Chain A
Amino acid sequence: DARVTQTPRHKVTEMGQEVTMRCQPILGHNTVFWYRQTMMQGLELLAYFRNRAPLDDSGMPKDRFSAEMPDATLATLKIQPSEPRDSAVYFCASGLVGRATDTQYFGPGTRLTVL
């Protein structure tokens, strides 16, 4: 049963610290998405990759956030320096995208708390 995995599941850190979140997409999927979920804003797309190349990161604060896919089995989202307003659940999703029937498969999320 293939699944998207994310680590860590929970992270508590202090303001100003670097945070790295990792995602392992489902093997064979060509697209990886990063979303952020908060009570106030709901689910928002931060960035996504197609065949490891960044396609759109317009939803991401560029000054402190960065997203990469060093290889097909790993996507990372980094925040440096972190701020209390970054507290949220960060989801990674992957999909084999290219047709109108394609869906995305979500990981369990990383719950980030910045004190």
Chain B
Amino acid sequence: KQEVTQIPAALSVPEGENLVLNCSFTDSAIYNLQWFRQDPGKGLTSLLLIQSSQREQTSGRLNASLDKSSGRSTLYIAASQPGDSATYLCAVVLTGGGNKLTFGTGTQLKVEL
């Protein structure tokens, strides 16, 4: 059974700092990996999707990397802003898994003024 873990569970940083969120998964036979953002009381918004054949994806100040062999992904946020405060979840789809997402435990990020 695929298990997805995220470290740290919570993170507080001052505005402007660059930061890295970590995600690890136990089964490397993944179809893709996604990073989502969840704001309090809201649904999830997809930030970045990395296909199994890719090593990274970038969108604005966000960069996500994927290392299947080590079962790891990182989400890098550059020049953090208070508006980045949210919970970040990574999720994987296994090859042959029917596009079912297995979610990590999440990292709650707070960016302070």
Contact = CB atoms under 8 A, between A and B. Distances in A.
Contact of A102 (B42, B52, B99): B99
B103 interface: yes
B35 to A, nearest CB: 11
A109 interface: yes
A91 B43 contact: yes
Interface in B79-113: 89, 91, 98-106
A86 B52 CA distance: 35
A56 B98 contact: yes
Contact of A104 (B42, B51, B101, B106): B101
Task: Summarize B's interface: helix, strand, loop or mixed.
Answer: strand
Nearest to B103: A43
Contacts of B91: 43
Interface residues of B, number: 25
Contacts, number: 54
A108 B43 contact: yes
In this complex, the interface size class of chain A, counting residues with CB under 8 Å from chain B, is: 20 to 34
Interface in B23-71: 31-32, 34, 36, 41-46, 49, 51-53
Nearest to A58: B100
Contacts of B53: 100
Contacts of B36: 106
B44 A106 contact: yes
Given A31-B99, A55-B98, A100 B43 contact: no
Interface string A36-54: 0000001111001010000
B41 to A, nearest CB: 8
Interface of B: 31-32, 34, 36, 41-46, 49, 51-53, 89, 91, 98-106
Interface of A: 4, 31, 33, 42-45, 48, 50, 55-56, 91, 93, 95, 97, 100-109
